[in-house]
A and B are shown apart, each in its own frame.
Chain A
């Protein structure tokens, strides 16, 4: 693994939606430097622009101001938007495994169709990773036959097999129950420890954020910007016993205070909009 690749730089990024001249400032002056191989988790209240930020990095959306680059290669600036690509693989909140293809095809289609890996090699790697997260033998099944937790693991493996420079995860475990979620966290961390990648993970679940992250960026309510960054100095590899350590409690408290303030603001703003 080349640790030098995948440094993500977000500099003073702003995004203004202007439907029918009603200027909605979704992002305002967001700056975040994520060194290669770091897990950065972005938390914030609903509607703070977390997903907008991710869409701008992925290339689904254009930025209005500022710049985004990976390894000093400019991805996005006003009037410039690099098409989505395998170097910035996205895992979506609602899941996007192709239901019409088997698990094996789903996880290998990216590298195989783009010609990066021979089919045989891609399949070998896929099988190995599936076995890693306890899913050996599900290769010939269709996504519709899997449970929610299994699908999410398959989807993360699909993303990893595309060998992105940055892995973008948009609340991937939101729809899962608490138990499945904790299994997912361990699976994700295990895969991460296997080949550390730069990860930008979006969530509104603080526990999840601290458990996974090297750094947690707390965003403000709309217009979104980075309010604080909490550095998580818990050692890796992580396991669930860390959730009961004092250090974890302190970190959570620190992040909680920042996010609670924003949640209150978001709530008040919602009240005003309704009034």
Chain B
């Protein structure tokens, strides 16, 4: 904790020093103090907080749908050979397409820009989650299944008591990685799509208006948003997989 704070302080200190020394590469970059001043004024404006809210809502919606569909689909693919063999090729062709490459088609497909952005975020989370969950199910030691059968387990026992807990770590890994992706995507999507709010929009607006300090404020805000959401997933994962805690 203290080391982390010291690291941040050192980073800011070097940046300030660099600006004071007029390093050429920092010529267009405001000093940390200027950014702080900008931040102080930003947090007092409702537009700044609206940007957080709007981006956060998009991320949450797309992510929740992605996880909500991705986890069951991954589990189903892992447990049914037939379903796996039918759906995996489709998934493998669609997966490498970068989420942003879906933007033009999504704009045509969805009636509103809001839905377009949420659907792009959904795609980013969805594929990551499906693949991680699938990998998790496939990696389950056959002996767990056999041991359970040998104790007289019924099929629903196998699912709830073996498959689900055994896959839990992979589910959370997929969720954490997926969460990281969603913030990348929301910002890019907000910059591409002509939309009137969001942290990505805020940044674009600052760029158009030539307010470099505000660009940095927006960047740091996005970083924080990603950090906070990943931490929440990580904490939830830790609570729900207590057996992985190393003593």
Q: Which residues of A contact B (CB under 8 A)?
A: 58-60, 83-86, 88-90, 92, 94-96, 98-101, 109-110, 113-114, 142-145, 158, 162
What residues on A are CB-neighbors of B141 within 8 Å? 94, 96
CB of B210 within 8 A of chain A?
no
> How far, in angstroms, from A94 to B146 measured CA to CA in the complex?
12
- Nearest neighbor of B241 in chain A, beta-carbon distance: A100
> How far, in angstroms, from A158 to B141 measured CA to CA in the complex?
18
> How far, in angstroms, from A114 to B157 measured CA to CA in the complex?
10
Partner of A88, one of B150, B168, B244: B150
Q: Which residues of chain B from 192 to 233 have a CB within 8 Å of any chain A CB?
A: none
> How far, in angstroms, from A90 to B151 measured CA to CA in the complex?
8
CB of B165 within 8 A of chain A?
yes
Q: CB distance A114 to B152 under 8 Å? A: yes
What residues on B are CB-neighbors of A60 within 8 Å? 146, 149
CB of B44 within 8 A of chain A?
no
Q: Which residues of chain B from 147 to 171 have a CB within 8 Å of any chain A CB?
A: 147, 149-153, 157, 161-162, 165-166, 168
Q: CB distance A83 to B149 under 8 Å? A: yes
Partner of B143, one of A59, A94, A100: A94
A-B interface, 7 closest residue pairs, ranked by CB to CB distance from nearest: A110-B151, A96-B147, A86-B152, A100-B165, A84-B149, A96-B143, A142-B243
- Nearest neighbor of B162 in chain A, beta-carbon distance: A98
Q: CB distance B146 to A90 under 8 Å? A: yes
Q: CB distance A84 to B146 under 8 Å? A: yes
Q: CB distance A96 to B247 under 8 Å? A: no
- As a 0/1 sequence over residues 135 to 151 of chain B, the CB contacts with chain A under 8 angstroms (1 = contact) are 00000010110110111
Q: CB distance B151 to A89 under 8 Å? A: yes
Partner of A162, one of B151, B244, B247: B151
What residues on B are CB-neighbors of A92 within 8 Å? 143, 146-147
The distance from the CB of B10 to the nearest CB of chain A, in whole angstroms, is: 38
CB within 8 Å for A110 and B152 given contacts A96-B141, A100-B241: yes
What residues on B are CB-neighbors of A109 within 8 Å? 151, 161
Partner of B247, one of A59, A98, A145: A145
**Range for the number of chain B residues in contact with chain A:** 20 to 34
The distance from the CB of A81 to the nearest CB of chain B, in whole angstroms, is: 12
Q: Which residues of B contact A (CB under 8 A)?
A: 141, 143-144, 146-147, 149-153, 157, 161-162, 165-166, 168, 241-244, 247
> How far, in angstroms, from A90 to B153 measured CA to CA in the complex?
13
> How far, in angstroms, from A189 to B30 measured CA to CA in the complex?
77
Q: CB distance B243 to A144 under 8 Å? A: yes
What residues on B are CB-neighbors of A145 within 8 Å? 247
What residues on B are CB-neighbors of A99 within 8 Å? 243
- Nearest neighbor of A89 in chain B, beta-carbon distance: B150
The distance from the CB of B100 to the nearest CB of chain A, in whole angstroms, is: 37
> How far, in angstroms, from A58 to B162 measured CA to CA in the complex?
19
> How far, in angstroms, from A84 to B241 measured CA to CA in the complex?
29
> How far, in angstroms, from A31 to B161 measured CA to CA in the complex?
37
Q: CB distance B165 to A98 under 8 Å? A: yes
The distance from the CB of A271 to the nearest CB of chain B, in whole angstroms, is: 31
What residues on B are CB-neighbors of A58 within 8 Å? 146, 150
Q: CB distance B146 to A85 under 8 Å? A: no
What residues on A are CB-neighbors of B242 within 8 Å? 142
> How far, in angstroms, from A96 to B143 measured CA to CA in the complex?
6
Q: CB distance B147 to A113 under 8 Å? A: no
Q: CB distance B243 to A101 under 8 Å? A: yes
> How far, in angstroms, from A144 to B245 measured CA to CA in the complex?
9
> How far, in angstroms, from A86 to B147 measured CA to CA in the complex?
10
> How far, in angstroms, from A170 to B89 measured CA to CA in the complex?
39
> How far, in angstroms, from A143 to B146 measured CA to CA in the complex?
18
Partner of B161, one of A59, A83, A98, A143: A98
Q: CB distance A114 to B162 under 8 Å? A: no
A85-B149, A158-B151 given. 9 additional CB < 8 A pairs? Answer: A84-B146, A84-B150, A90-B147, A95-B143, A98-B144, A98-B147, A109-B161, A113-B152, A113-B161
> How far, in angstroms, from A90 to B144 measured CA to CA in the complex?
11
